[in-house]
Amino acid sequence: MFGRTTLLIAAALGLTLGTSAAEAQIKLKWAHVYETSEPFHTESVWAAQEFAKRTNNKYQIEVFPASQLGKETDINQGLSLGSVDIIISGSSFAARAYPPIGVTYYPFIFRDADHLLAYTKSDTYKELAKGYEDKTGHHIVATTYYGARHVTSNRPIKACADMKGLKMRVPDVPAYLAMPRSCGANTTPIAFAEVYLALQNGTVEAQENPLTTIEAKKFYEVQKHIVLTAHIVDHLNTIVAKGTWDKWSAEDRATFVAVAQEAAARATKQIQTREAELVGLFKEKGLTVTEVDKKDFIDAVAKGVTFEQFGYRKADYDKIVAIK
């Protein structure tokens, strides 16, 4: 009888301990708007698993891709509302809270991916990230190369003037609008998840995104031309909500920063490799790929927009342009 009672007590105690351990695990939500096939998602999943491993399963992070928790505007707002803990999002959206950080979206500010990556190691990057954190409380922990943004269209475009009257989907962010509007395009904001259908049914006849996104979202199926404007060398920030960051110990913070930066580097390498392959692949699919004189577009932007209208600081622009 004593043995049976002892076993029952031990079993009950084991159940209690197991329940407590499960309850002790901290569950977090990580959101983004990208497809499950893209490195931004696959490396987020890797980072979530790696963070759990390195913290002895203290945290369980679920990654929500493809706008499952809302559009990019929604998930940025979610950081403050407490509906998400971590997001991947561009500085153009961070600029809605802290305009100076959006200077990296000023058309043609970066020469190429290497220039962007050099910027992420600069004092200017640290200053802008701190300015964003001071304003919002949210913490930028890593930055991933997203790709050079190019125009796709169902009409041929060889020069800035050819975009006049073009019905074009552009994210509802001032910096994204600068080049298309300077060239006379009629821009319209459409949620990222709805762009394919809008192109397919003719609501718009053009859009702009990196080659890797054009592939992932299958825009090449409903567009005839890819125009290599590279007007924005884009990037995504991994951002932790203030409420979440404040709860982490210094050790957990350092662990997540290390994991997020490793994931960013892994995704960046994949994007650069795939970008180099895609021009040829799109040509094989029958699309017309056009090189353009960037100076034509740069001159139009210089006439059409100013730093002040966006809330950017020219001093930041000058520092970034000067980075080698």
As given in the structure block, the two tokens for residue 225 are 């031309």
Would you say residue 20 has pLDDT above 90?
no
Q: Which residues pair with 30 in a beta bridge?
A: 63, 86
Neighbours of 312 (CB within 10 A): 24
Would you say residue 187 has pLDDT above 60?
yes
**266 dihedral zone (left: phi>0; alpha: psi -120 to 50; beta):** alpha
Burial of 310 (C-beta count, 10 Å sphere; 0-12/13-18/19+): buried
Instruction: Check if the beta carbon of residue 101 is closer than 8 Å to that of residue 128.
Output: yes
Residue 271 CA to residue 266 CA, distance in Å, equals: 9
**For residues 13-19, average pLDDT:** 46
Q: Dihedral angle at the C-alpha atoms of 54, 57, 61, 63, nearest 10 degrees?
A: 70
Sign of dihedral through CA atoms 167, 173, 176, 178? positive
Average pLDDT, the chain: 92
Q: What H or E segment, with its residue span, contains residue 22?
A: helix 2-24
**For residues 259-275, average pLDDT:** 97
> Could you tell me the pTM of the whole model?
0.86
Q: Which residues pair with 60 in a beta bridge?
A: 27
Residue 186 CA to residue 264 CA, distance in Å, equals: 34
> Among 57-61, 292-296, 306-310, 314-318, where is mean pLDDT lowest?
306-310
As given in the structure block, the two tokens for residue 243 are 């409420």
Q: 210-220 pLDDT, tens per residue? A: 999 999 999 99
pLDDT of residue 304: 86
**For residues 55-73, average pLDDT:** 96
pLDDT of residue 24: 76
- Pairing of the two strands 186-188 and 26-31: unpaired
Phi, psi angle pair for 92, to nearest 5° = -60, -35
Instruction: Show Cβ contacts of residue 126 under 8 Å, excluding neighbours closer than 6 positions.
Output: none
pLDDT of residue 9: 45
- How far from 211 is each of 12, 14, 253, 268, CA to CA, in Å? 57, 54, 34, 14
